[in-house]
A and B are shown apart, each in its own frame.
Chain A
Amino acid sequence: MFETAVFCVFGAILLFAGLRVITARNPVHAALFLVLAFFTASAIWMLLRAEFLAIALIVVYVGAVMVLFLFVVMMLDINVERLRAGFWKNLPLAVAVGGILVAEMTAILAGRYFGAMPSTEPAGYSNTRALGGILYTQYAYPFEIAAVVLLVAIIAAIALTLRQRKDSRRQDPGEQVRVRKSDRLRIVPMKAESHDPSRAADNAPEGANK
Chain B
Amino acid sequence: MSQMPNFFPALPEIFLLTSTCVLMIVDLSAKTIRRQRTYVLAHIVLLGCAFLTYYTTLDVVSPRPIYTFSDLFVNDLMSGWLKMAAYIAVATTLVYSRQYLIDRGLMRGEFIVLLLFALLGMMILMSANSLLTVYLGLELLSLCQYALVALNRDSAASTEAAMKYFVLGALASGMLLYGMSMIYGATGTLTITEISHRVGVLAGNTGDRTLLVFGLVFLVAGIAFKLGVVPFHMWVPDVYQGAATAVTLVIASAPKLAAFAMAMRLLVNGLLDLAVDWQQMLSILAVLSMALGNITAIAQTNLKRMLAYSTISHMGFVLLGLAGGMVNGNLLNAGDAYSSAMFYVVIYVLTTLASFGMLLLLSRAGVECESLDDLKGLNQRAPWFALIMLIVMFSLAGVPPAAGFYAKLAILKTTVAAGQIGLAVAAVLFSLIGAFYYLRIVKLMYFDDASKSGPVTAHADMRVLVSVNGLALLALGILPQSLMALCVASIKAL
Contact = CB atoms under 8 A, between A and B. Distances in A.
Contact of A160 (B5, B132, B151): B151
A145 B110 contact: no
Contact of B137 (A133, A145, A153, A159): A145
A142 B138 CA distance: 12
B1 A112 contact: no
Contacts of B10: 141
Q: How large is the interface on B (under 10, 10 to 19, 20 to 34, 35 or more residues)?
A: 35 or more
Given A109-B211, A138-B70, A139-B72, A155 B113 contact: yes
A15 interface: no
A152 B70 contact: no
A156 interface: yes
Nearest to B109: A159
The secondary-structure label for the interface of chain A is helix
Interface string A82-113: 00000000000000000000000100110010
Nearest to A111: B207
Given A149-B139, A155-B114, A156-B143, A142 B133 contact: yes
A108 B214 contact: yes
Nearest to B207: A112
A139 B124 contact: no
B210 interface: yes
A142 B147 contact: no
Contacts of B1: 133-134, 137-138
Contacts of A24: none
A109 to B, nearest CB: 7
Contacts of B140: 145, 148-149, 152
Given A114-B185, A142-B132, A149-B139, A156 B214 contact: no
B73 A141 contact: yes
Contact of B144 (A109, A134, A152): A152
B11 interface: no
B17 A148 contact: yes
A156 B147 contact: yes
A145 B147 contact: no
- Report which residue of B5, B133, B136, B207 has the largest number of chain A beta carbons within 10 angstroms of its beta carbon: B136
Interface residues of A, number: 26
Nearest to B188: A116
Interface string B1-29: 11001000010000001000000100000
B210 A159 contact: no
B15 to A, nearest CB: 14
Interface in B183-229: 185, 207, 210-211, 214
A148 B120 contact: yes
A121 to B, nearest CB: 18
A130 to B, nearest CB: 12
B139 A156 contact: no
Contacts of B146: 156
A114 B208 CA distance: 10
B117 to A, nearest CB: 5
A140 interface: yes
A49 to B, nearest CB: 18
A146 interface: yes
A191 B150 CA distance: 60
A75 B444 CA distance: 54
24 contacts: A105-B214, A109-B210, A112-B211, A114-B185, A133-B1, A139-B70, A140-B69, A141-B10, A141-B69, A141-B70, A142-B130, A145-B124, A145-B136, A146-B136, A149-B140, A149-B143, A151-B117, A155-B24, A155-B110, A155-B114, A156-B147, A159-B108, A160-B147, A160-B153
Given A145-B140, A146-B136, A149-B143, 14 more contacts: A108-B210, A109-B211, A112-B207, A116-B185, A133-B1, A140-B5, A141-B5, A141-B133, A145-B124, A148-B17, A152-B147, A155-B114, A158-B110, A160-B150
